[in-house]
Amino acid sequence: MRQEQGGSRSYKEAVMEKLIISGGTALRGTVHISGSKNACLPILAATVLTPDKCTIRNVPDLADVRAMCAILKWIGVQVKHDRKAGVIETKAENVVGVAPYDLVRKMRASVCLLGPLLARLRSCKVSMPGGCIIGNRPIDQHIKGLMRLGAEIVMEAGYVNARCTELVGTDVFMGGRFGSTVTGTANVLMAAALAKGVTIIECAACEPEIEDLAIFMNKMGAHIKGAGSPTMEVEGVPELHGADHTIIPDRIEAGTFMVAAALTGGDIEIKGACATHLGAVRDKLEESGVNVQRTNGTIRVSGGATRRPFDVTTMPYPGFPTDMQAQMCALMSLTPGISVVTEKIYPNRFMHLSEMARLGADVALESNTAIIKGVNRLSGAPVMASDLRASAGLVLAGLAAEGETDVKRIYHLDRGYEHIDQKLRNLGASVERVEEEDNG
Ligand code: EPU
């Protein structure tokens, strides 16, 4: 029944496309950074916490955002999405508490609906998201956190079935084997906002995307203190109201263009990014000899004449982001000397390395550590994107490689980078988007 009414039929699998990149051009000019995907997705989930109208601005036009809108529509939320203006209006007057597998498997962040649906309806059934190419991505901490607030949770037939008579504030520790969890913190925060009494979230994710979610929720009438730090205090309120919010800029998109400037020996002005969210990326680029200047809301990056090798260890914010790891591998592959990457968030997130090796990169993998020996040149070849950030790393490598690189399966890229081919062309890159002849 829902299926017929809802938006699931409007969510289409992306057409298989590839990018053809003729590398070797130093990128120059100005790029404007879009709204943050990973801030937008939980904020859209949070709109379910109120029956009132919410307006979300600076929404990036991305496949993941459209997937989230499809799920919201399916559960009964009225959604108006003006893709050109980057504005989404929602009104969640009547919602059902079921998020089915077919929609959730397309976009993991839909697990963020668990907390708000439980808080609003006292009962919900959300599909487990399933496997992910970047590694094992359990949701045990989400479940633990919601159970601490009083939810009874049963996993059955691939679904998380959650119910409660009421949610009651308490202390909740959100640290797992790999540190804090971003979407887990979001889920507990959203449930705690409508719980009875005070919740203290310890080992909370400090990512700017969580801070943005808390700012939005406080505009809705929530009482959240400490967002952006490891300890958050949430005083529950009986209900939340509508709000108008502008999403923060995407720090990973900005970081990707910073690396593009360094790798191609170019000079790019990055506008609209938040430099304070990019400290770890800036620090590593500077360590390698890349020039990074910050002036009046602009980050200007120009490739250093000579670069030095450097080491990166991924960590929760404010450490070096795992979502910038593949892009750094591309830079290291053309940086003289031996650079080392240690992946501490997703130990297996190295699918891009074997594809970079096809372009001539000298890479070796030992457990969760990549050893990258800089080469003098990469040479273009067909490569296959395996996930969003791996795709970004391959595009960057292709921009610096001699000759033509075809990056196949770029639907991954379109999940998280708004109009990336157009933005790269504006900087002088030769990038063409074409349909893949062979979808195999
Ligand atoms: N983890 C657990 N148990 C849990 C949850 C997480 O062990 O219950 C582990 C994960 O397996 C991982 C670590 O904790 O080893 C961190 O995972 P986290 O939960 O923080 O990741 P996430 O919330 O699922 C978000 C971003 C990812 C980004 C990670 C890490 C969104 C929508 N996604 O995922 O973004 O890589 O945080 O910063 O915010 C991307 O944009 O390409 C992307 C994958």
Q: Tens of pLDDT along 106-148?
A: 888 999 999 999 999 999 999 988 667 887 888 999 999 999 9
DSSP structure string for 132-152:
-TT-----HHHHHHHHHTT-E
Cα–ligand 1 centroid distance for 130 (angstroms) = 14
Spatial distance between the Cα atoms of 433 and 440, rounded to a whole number of angstroms? 18
Of the candidates 40, 132, 164, 203, the residue annotated as catalytic is 132
Q: What per-residue confidence (pLDDT) applies to 407?
A: 96
Minimum mean pLDDT range among 63-77, 294-308, 329-343: 294-308
Cα–ligand 1 centroid distance for 20 (angstroms) = 31
By C-alpha distance, which of 85, 49, 35, 60 is closest to 72? Answer: 49
Cα–ligand 1 centroid distance for 137 (angstroms) = 7
* 175, 166 Cβ separation under 8 angstroms: no
Ligand 1 atom at minimal distance to the Cα of residue 389: 42
By C-alpha distance, which of 277, 274, 190, 196 is closest to 232? Answer: 190
Cα–ligand 1 centroid distance for 240 (angstroms) = 27
Using CA atoms, how far residue 13 sits from 66, 76, 190, 284, in Å, is: 11, 22, 30, 37
Q: Is 181 in the pocket of ligand 1 (CB under 6 A)?
A: yes
From 34, 134, 153, 178, mutation site for ligand 1 pocket: most ligand atoms within 8 A of C-beta: 178
* Residues in Cβ contact with 266 at an 8 Å cutoff, skipping those fewer than 6 apart: 25, 26, 27, 28, 260, 302, 303, 427, 428
Q: Is 234 in the pocket of ligand 1 (CB under 6 A)?
A: no
Using CA atoms, how far residue 425 sits from 317, 354, 428, 433, in Å, is: 31, 27, 5, 11
- Would the pLDDT of 168 be above 90? yes
Ligand 1 atom at minimal distance to the Cα of residue 42: 32
Cα–ligand 1 centroid distance for 52 (angstroms) = 30
Q: Is 175 in the pocket of ligand 1 (CB under 6 A)?
A: no
Residue nearest to atom 37 of ligand 1 (CA): 182
Minimum mean pLDDT range among 102-106, 148-152, 225-229: 102-106
- Would the pLDDT of 399 be above 80? yes
Task: Name the region of 181 (left: φ>0; alpha: ψ -120 to 50; beta: rest).
Answer: beta
SS3 351: helix
Mean pLDDT of 234-251: 98
- Would the pLDDT of 366 be above 70? yes
Torsion sign, CA atoms 386, 388, 392, 393 = negative
From 34, 36, 106, 183, mutation site for ligand 1 pocket: most ligand atoms within 8 A of C-beta: 183
By C-alpha distance, which of 224, 248, 274 is closest to 56? Answer: 248
Q: Is 90 in the pocket of ligand 1 (CB under 6 A)?
A: no
Question: What's the predicted TM-score (pTM) here?
Answer: 0.95
Query: What b/e sequence results for 400-434 when a residue is b if at least 16 CB atoms lie within 10 Å of its CB, and e otherwise?
Result: bbeebbbbbbbbbbbbbbbebbebbeebebebeee
* 33, 270 Cβ separation under 8 angstroms: yes
Task: Establish whether 132 is a catalytic residue.
Answer: yes
Q: Is 187 in the pocket of ligand 1 (CB under 6 A)?
A: no
Q: Is 141 in the pocket of ligand 1 (CB under 6 A)?
A: yes
The beta-strand segments (E) located in 158-260 are 159-163, 171-173, 175-176, 179-180, 198-202, 223-225, 231-235, 244-246
pLDDT class of 227 with cuts at 50, 70, 90 = very high
Q: What per-residue confidence (pLDDT) applies to 3?
A: 38
Spatial distance between the Cα atoms of 369 and 317, rounded to a whole number of angstroms? 20
Q: Is 346 in the pocket of ligand 1 (CB under 6 A)?
A: yes
pLDDT class of 7 with cuts at 50, 70, 90 = very low
- Would the pLDDT of 438 be above 70? no
- Would the pLDDT of 231 be above 60? yes
Q: Is 417 in the pocket of ligand 1 (CB under 6 A)?
A: no
